[in-house]
Amino acid sequence: MAFLKLTSKDQYGNREVRFIYVSGIIGLCKTEQELIDVTIDTEEGSLKFCSTVDRNRTAELPLSRVKDVRDFMFTKTYYADKSVIGRAIVGSWLGGPNAPVIGAISALQGKVKKTDYRRRISIFYDDTEGREKQILLEICGASIGWRKFVKELPKDENSVYAPKEKPESTHIKL
């Protein structure tokens, strides 16, 4: 399994991007944050999902059932313990013989607020029973070409992959 993917196309020229799987396809990934390859197969008119850990674990979604695709910034704020070792090292650089101890003690006085920014993609689709579902993917460092991927996915009824309704008859009987 290679983490880095140096192209945004598969061997057949279809758009393919590597993402971190978050949720939406039961049974595709066995571990959290598993890498998957997602391919827009224009020949078959489907979106294909394949685990990078086990290539036999796959899923497929007809592009005609994709209703909307959105990318957004996901922000997670949490509190982490201050680094005792890091503060001791900084203290040793800044001061005399007691500075490392004072630096280490300053870390014991609380927690530091951290914010984690991640970009995610949400694919909304209708399942076989007509209920709206969502697949959630996260962009990782190996997600080369993800912006083009989002642009190429159908987003509304004007898509070439959207199911076509029969137009009303314009035949006039006299």
Residue carrying the six token digits 């076989």: 128
Q: Which pLDDT score is estimated for 33?
A: 86
Rounded distance between C-alpha atoms, residue 36 and residue 54, angstroms: 10
Q: What is the pLDDT of residues 82-118, one digit of tens each?
A: 565 665 666 566 666 666 655 555 555 666 677 878 8
Nearest to 22 by CA among 38, 1, 11, 44: 38
31: tokens are 């571990």
Q: What is the pLDDT of residue 102?
A: 58
- Domains of the chain with CATH codes: 15-75+117-152 (2.30.29.30), 78-114 (no CATH)
Q: How far apart are CA 117 and CA 120, in angstroms?
A: 10
- The amino acid at 153: L
Six-digit token string for 13: 């020229």
123: nearest Cα among 54, 59, 52, 75: 59
How do the pLDDT tens digits run along the chain, 174 residues long? 455 555 577 777 888 888 999 999 988 888 888 999 999 988 888 999 999 888 899 999 998 898 888 888 888 787 766 565 665 666 566 666 666 655 555 555 666 677 878 888 999 999 889 899 999 999 887 677 888 888 888 765 555 444 455 555 555 655
Euclidean distance between CA atoms 89 and 85, whole angstroms: 6
**HEC per residue, the chain:** CCCCCCCCECCCCCEEEEEEEEECCCCCCCCCCCEEEEEEECCCCEEEEEECCCCCCEEEEEHHHEEEEEEEEEEEEEEEECCHHHHHHHHHHHCCCCHHHHHHHHHCCCEEEEEEEEEEEEEEEECCCCCEEEEEEEECCCCCCHHHHHHHCCCCCCCCCCCCCCCCCCCCCC
